[in-house]
């Protein structure tokens, strides 16, 4: 990479909804882009000096197809000049943020921008699971009217357990409130500011949430502490006929254990937008008529995608103008 009078920024993937704003960064930075390729080629290019002088990377969620996960191996290949990664997504499990921090690379994500859309998706899945909506919806398209549907459940008076009261969890609680749920939540720590718990949900322990909730909705980040958090032992603790909703990350739930719980009627129904090994889905989930399935589309609206891209761009712009990211992830804040 030849020397440039401007800082160099590399876009991994494509900006689709904020193209003008991205192009405007060209006034203060040299913009590069990688739209195709594979991990081996990217590592080879890093090693051969193609990206020497790079200050920042803006990456899309789908760019993992081009580079693979930003793990320790890849981070070791990145140029020493790289100091910032602006990631498009609230979840950032595609990046080893701790390894980045150890290398002096700060990482940002897009909190806030995804809250409303993901919470809306969770409400859709919650209501669909309560009614086991997959059964009549499928039967209708097959010309069998309601098919073999039984009766579902109303939300009124049910105890809703929110696992993770961050931005998405609190947005979800606001949307659930008009359905007359009683609400409780669990975080690592109780939220302090009232705006983070807008429905005044009760703080309970993880075990109490599992044992007492009629519906459990998951809104946690994926990390070492949450991977496989919900397995056989946790399902055994739950009430018979519990409803599970997950719009966070698939690996938080042991899918084999979920399938068993569905087959044994421990779980009445589930609404899922994320999967343990996506895009592969456990065959037991595909077979089950108790599950409402969506293909990780919680943020798939024009408005939300633009908000996310704008925040990625704003993070890069702030790096170029002020020398730091606007929304650094916790690992970068603590480094």
Residues annotated as catalytic (active site), given as ranges: 249, 278, 296
Closest to 309 (Cα-Cα) out of 14, 68, 10, 107: 14
d(CA 50, CA 126): 48
List the one residue out of 25, 7, 109 whose CA is nearest residue 59.
109
- Facing residues of 272 across strands? 246, 293
Contact between 269 and 292 under an 8 Å Cβ cutoff? The reply is: yes
Can you list the pairs that 301-308 forms with residues at least 24 positions away whose Cβ atoms lie under 8 Å?
301/117, 302/17, 303/117, 304/113, 304/114, 304/116, 304/117, 305/16, 305/17, 306/17, 306/18, 307/110, 307/113, 307/114, 308/88, 308/89, 308/110, 308/113, 308/114
């Amino acid at each position: 990479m030849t020397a440039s009078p401007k800082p160099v920024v590399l876009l991994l993937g494509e900006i689709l909804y904020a193209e003008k704003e991205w192009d405007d960064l060209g006034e203060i930075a040299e913009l590069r882009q990688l739209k195709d390729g594979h991990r081996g080629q990217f590592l080879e290019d890093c090693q051969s000096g193609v990206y020497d002088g790079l200050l920042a990377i803006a990456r899309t969620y789908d760019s993992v197809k081009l580079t693979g996960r930003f793990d320790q191996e890849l981070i070791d290949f990145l140029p020493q000049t790289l100091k910032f990664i602006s990631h498009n997504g609230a979840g950032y499990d595609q990046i080893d943020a701790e390894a980045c921090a150890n290398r002096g690379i700060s990482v940002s994500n897009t909190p806030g921008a995804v809250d409303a859309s993901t919470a809306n998706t969770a409400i859709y899945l919650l209501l669909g699971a309560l009614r086991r909506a997959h059964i009549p919806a499928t039967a209708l398209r097959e010309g069998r009217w309601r098919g073999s549907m039984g009766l579902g459940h109303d939300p009124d008076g049910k105890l809703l357990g929110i696992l993770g009261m961050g931005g998405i969890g609190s947005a979800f609680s606001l949307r659930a409130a008009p359905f007359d749920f009683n609400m409780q939540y669990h975080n690592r720590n109780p939220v302090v500011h009232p705006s983070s718990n807008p429905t005044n949900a009760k703080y309970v322990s993880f075990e109490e949430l599992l044992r007492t909730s009629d519906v459990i909705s998951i809104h946690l980040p994926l990390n070492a502490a949450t991977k496989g958090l919900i397995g056989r032992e946790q399902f055994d603790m739950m009430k018979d006929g519990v409803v599970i909703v997950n719009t966070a990350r698939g690996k938080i739930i042991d899918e084999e254990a979920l399938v068993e719980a569905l087959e044994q009627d421990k779980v009445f129904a589930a609404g899922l937008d994320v999967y343990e090994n996506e895009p592969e889905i456990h065959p037991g989930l595909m077979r089950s008529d108790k599950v409402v399935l969506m293909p990780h589309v919680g943020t798939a609206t024009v408005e939300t995608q633009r908000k996310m891209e704008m925040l990625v761009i704003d993070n890069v712009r702030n790096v170029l103008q002020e020398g730091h990211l606007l929304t650094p992830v916790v690992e970068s804040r603590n480094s």
